Amino acid sequence: MADPGASLITGFDYVWQRFTDRLGGLSDEEYLWEPVRGCWSLRRGDDGRWRLDGGGGGGPAPEPVPVTTIAWRIGHLAGMAVGGFADRLLADGTLTPDDLDYPAAVDELPAFLAKHYRAWRSGLACLDENGWLRPLGPSWGPFAEASTSDLALHVFDEVVHHGAEVGLLRDLWLHRSELAITR
């Protein structure tokens, strides 16, 4: 019988590679493109640090949920979901959105993505069967009884979900001159 943890890690590798491959040829202009007014994006603060609008999506979102840029999606996915959950589950749990050095330009993406994915993947690879089944515990609030496997499946969903959204934004960018504007 196949090891379910190993199968999930193999799945992560596949969807992560598909996501990062989809970023080939991304330009800085496309990375920060705001297809509609009111987009959430990555912006430089008064202190010179780059931060995600809306706190990076870690809290309640307004209604309707804003459209986000590719930069926001990547920052949220790699920094908040993959890197943040890796830190919280597998390290000391002190990483905050303000600690993240979000990539302000496309040439900074490979290092940012690799750092956070490596932390997540290497942590999962160290889990034994009990580690996969262990409840997350009280510090996870309403998810205290959820297992590490449950969290891993949530992060897997985040990679697939946000990776697809980045792919769609890339398709729209490519055809932006053809977009039909309705009022």
Per-residue pLDDT for 94 more than 60?
yes
The per-residue pLDDT for range 132-144, each reduced to its tens digit, is 999 999 989 899 9
Alpha-carbon distances of 65 from 68, 79, 116, 138, rounded to whole Å: 9, 20, 26, 29
**What CATH number is associated with residue 77?**
1.20.120.450
pLDDT of residue 58: 76
Domain count, the chain: 1
Is residue 55 very low, low, confident or very high in pLDDT (cuts 50, 70, 90)?
confident
Q: Is residue 183 part of a domain?
A: no
Residue span of the structural domain in which 149 resides? 4-178
**In a domain? residue 83:** yes
Answer for the pair 70, 166: CB distance below 8 angstroms, yes or no: yes
Per-residue pLDDT averaged across 61-68, rounded?
91
Rounded mean pLDDT of the chain?
A: 93
Q: Are the beta carbons of 95 and 108 closer than 8 angstroms? A: no
Instruction: Provide the residue type at 166 as one letter.
Output: V
Q: CA torsion sign, 150 to 152 to 156 to 162?
A: positive
pTM of the model: 0.93
